[in-house]
Amino acid sequence: MPTLDELIIAFDKGLRTVFAPAQSLRATPGRDLSEAGMTEEQRRFSASLMRVNHAGEICAQALYQGQALTARNPRAKAALEQAAREETEHLAWTEGRIEELGGRKSLLNPVWYAGSFALGALAGLAGDRWNLGFLAETERQVVTHLERHLGRLPEEDGRSRAIVEKMKEDEARHATSAVAHGAAELPEPAKAAMRLSSKVMTETAFWI
Ligand SMILES: [Fe+2]
Ligand SMILES: [Fe+2]
């Protein structure tokens, strides 16, 4: 079981994730690209898609924090923490892009965070193989989702597209690394339930 100290640290990280701006070591992809060709309507649409992606990164933070809290094997923990650092950069990139587009973040971010944290902690309790299996499947589903967004983002929005491309690359690597650390393959009903819950999240965050 996690100690009281660990719980307090996790709670503090959660508050900062949802309410404080995220930092990135790597430069934001595509920031030198021009966006002069975008219409107002395209900007609004891109901002909505990037709000969904930002909410997804809030969930990623929460999942990783929840998982790291209950993961047992130190190697699994280290892999989770490395990926979590890259997720923080994704959070910063999507947040910055939403601002540039004049959009806003999802009002339900605290809800997405709390739900994902609980899921992550449960996955961690199930043992490292399942924990990593859950992570690998999450990342694979995120890659599929980001691919769909690349099909929907306006061609003129090179900046958002560059961010999504880079995130897709990172998420695919997170999946591969989880498998390399011994991830179990989840049963199909679990994968379907995950697809369904992320569908609820992504469709809600597009509007709210
Ligand atoms: Fe991410
Ligand atoms: Fe990831």
pLDDT per residue over 76-85, tens digit each? 777 777 788 8
Longest dimension (CA), the chain: 54
Report the separation in Å between the CA atom of 87 and the middle of ligand 1, taken as the mean of its atom positions.
4
Q: State the pTM of this model.
A: 0.88
Confidence of residue 12 (pLDDT cuts 50, 70, 90): confident
Q: For tokens 């597209």, name the residue.
A: 161
Confidence of residue 106 (pLDDT cuts 50, 70, 90): very high
Report the separation in Å between the CA atom of 60 and the middle of ligand 2, taken as the mean of its atom positions.
7
Report the separation in Å between the CA atom of 56 and the middle of ligand 1, taken as the mean of its atom positions.
7
Give mean pLDDT, residues 109-136.
Answer: 88
Confidence of residue 93 (pLDDT cuts 50, 70, 90): very high
Closest ligand to the CA of 83: 2
Given a cut of 90, is residue 66 above it in pLDDT? no
Task: Give residues whose Cβ lies within 5 Å of ion ligand 2.
Answer: 139, 171, 174
What is the token pair recorded at 37? 């060709």
